[in-house]
Chain A
Amino acid sequence: MPPVVEDLAFPILGRSFVGHGVPEPLRGWLLEQWWRPEQALPARRFAIGLEWTAAGSAPAPAQGEPVRALVPGGVLTWRSSGGQWEWRGGDATGVRLTLEPEQARIHVWGTSTRDAELFTALYVAICEALRASGLLPLHAAVAAPPAGTVAWPPAAAPYIPGDPAATAPAAMAFLGGREAGKSTTLLHLARAGWTPVAEDLCWIDPDARVLYGWDRGVRLRRAAIEAFFPELSGAPWVAEPDGKLLLHYDDLARHGQASGGPGGGERGAGEAARRGTLAGVTLLRRAAGGATGWEPLPPRDAVRALWEAVGVPLSAAARQTAAAWIGTVAARLPLYHLRLGKTPPGPPPPW
């Protein structure tokens, strides 16, 4: 039987997280997914508490309206009632999320072995708790161009003294689903001097538009490395379970690609904080051939892409917050469509 760690505590972007009775497989998963000491922020008054109990300790099933959450590879159906959401994976496993002012309580019950669907439901619950604390997830590649190479409109990169955005450089978010070309685009831009902030996932403070990179490196298939980035074929890529290879940002920097921290961020565990201020949005689309080129993106198309990147929250309040943020971004920021042809992308044209 795996050892039980009674208390697991660390901050997530300034929100406190405490786990009680967390068995080892889950403990490792929590640290891997959510512990980012380099992304330290001042403490916020919001607490996320997680309690793990054995499989036989399931509470009485919650009643309520079904709410579906799209997750990679499927749909999880939750039952919603008031400030509570519950997902059950049969009789033995489940997750119950309770949202209250300034705190979220998560009760997980199940076996101590790794259960992919249970962990996915827990991931949804923690995301929802962070949404309730005022953050939004954004599935996007994000990169900051070298200073002066992109002419951002004033509304896209405001400078407000004391604003956290002032310490994070203007950055472009590249949106697209799986295999849309986010990683390849990010590496092409890194080769051109852009600084990677995120490859696939970041969290955003919607008020300040500051993006916090959440992944730890760039993931590509070996064929793409050999075809587009042969200079990186000797880099210390690490095999991932899905067959892709991961290159940590620090190793990317050691191989001559711009990948230092964007500047101004705090550091921890020897890793640079990857931050940017959202200044533009680009939707990636692969093309069969021809040159890579930038085109305007209609706001309504940006809305669709942003909803796909943000995901639909479980709670009505979080849905309203996300809708307001997406509306503001789509109405005010430069929006591009990057048609990915056979040539590397250049800088975006003036908006």
Chain B
Amino acid sequence: MAGTYARVARVIETDLGHELVLLDPETQEMFSLNETGRCIWRTLPAGEAPLIAALVAAYDVSPAAAEADVRRLLTELLDAGLIEVRGDAAGG
């Protein structure tokens, strides 16, 4: 997946400390992120490589595991309409 991933501006974050709850006011859908998901969300806007690097730096995970986590979460966030892709691999 290439491009820079960015939060959709209208999405509202509610921070519970260990967990981040995202609300899309258009759909009233909510999406809960655990600590690693929160780390990825906080790193946005970014391309896939910086997101993987952020996860590896913050947690004791292998690059391969981090890549799988990042790709899975990005897919879920895109499907939920909470993030969008901008440009073409601009964010690395």
Contact = CB atoms under 8 A, between A and B. Distances in A.
B91 to A, nearest CB: 24
A285 interface: no
Contacts of A68: 25-26
A300 B21 contact: yes
Given A299-B19, A300-B21, A303-B21, A326 B26 contact: no
Contact of B23 (A299, A312, A320, A330): A312
A323 interface: yes
B13 interface: yes
A62 B77 CA distance: 33
Nearest to A314: B25
Contacts of B13: 323
A46 B49 CA distance: 48
Interface residues on B, range: 10 to 19
B30 A303 contact: yes
A327 B23 contact: no
Contacts of A326: 14
B87 interface: no
Interface string A270-310: 00000000000000000000000000000110011001000
B15 to A, nearest CB: 5
B32 interface: yes
A322 B28 CA distance: 15
Contacts of A300: 16, 19, 21, 30, 32
A320 B19 CA distance: 17
Given A70-B28, A300-B32, A307 B23 contact: yes
Chain B contact residues: helix, strand, loop or mixed: strand
B14 A323 contact: yes
Interface string B8-31: 000011111101010101101010
A147 B16 CA distance: 30
B16 A330 contact: yes
A311 to B, nearest CB: 10
A331 B16 contact: yes
A299 B21 CA distance: 10
A211 B8 CA distance: 33
Contacts of B26: 68
A322 B13 CA distance: 10
B25 A331 contact: no
Contacts of B25: 68, 312, 319
B12 A323 contact: yes
B16 A299 contact: yes
Contacts of B28: 70
Given A68-B25, A312-B23, A312-B25, A304 B16 contact: no
Contacts of B14: 303, 307, 323, 326-327, 330
Nearest to B15: A327
Contacts of A70: 28
A324 B21 CA distance: 12
B17 A331 contact: yes
Contacts of B23: 307, 312
A323 B20 CA distance: 11
A323 B19 CA distance: 13
Given A299-B19, A300-B19, A304-B30, 5 more contacts: A300-B21, A327-B14, A330-B14, A331-B16, A331-B17
Interface of A: 68, 70, 299-300, 303-304, 307, 312, 319-320, 322-324, 326-327, 330-331
Interface of B: 12-17, 19, 21, 23, 25-26, 28, 30, 32
19 contacts: A70-B28, A300-B19, A300-B21, A300-B32, A303-B14, A303-B21, A303-B30, A304-B30, A307-B14, A307-B23, A320-B12, A323-B12, A323-B14, A323-B15, A327-B14, A327-B16, A327-B17, A330-B14, A331-B16
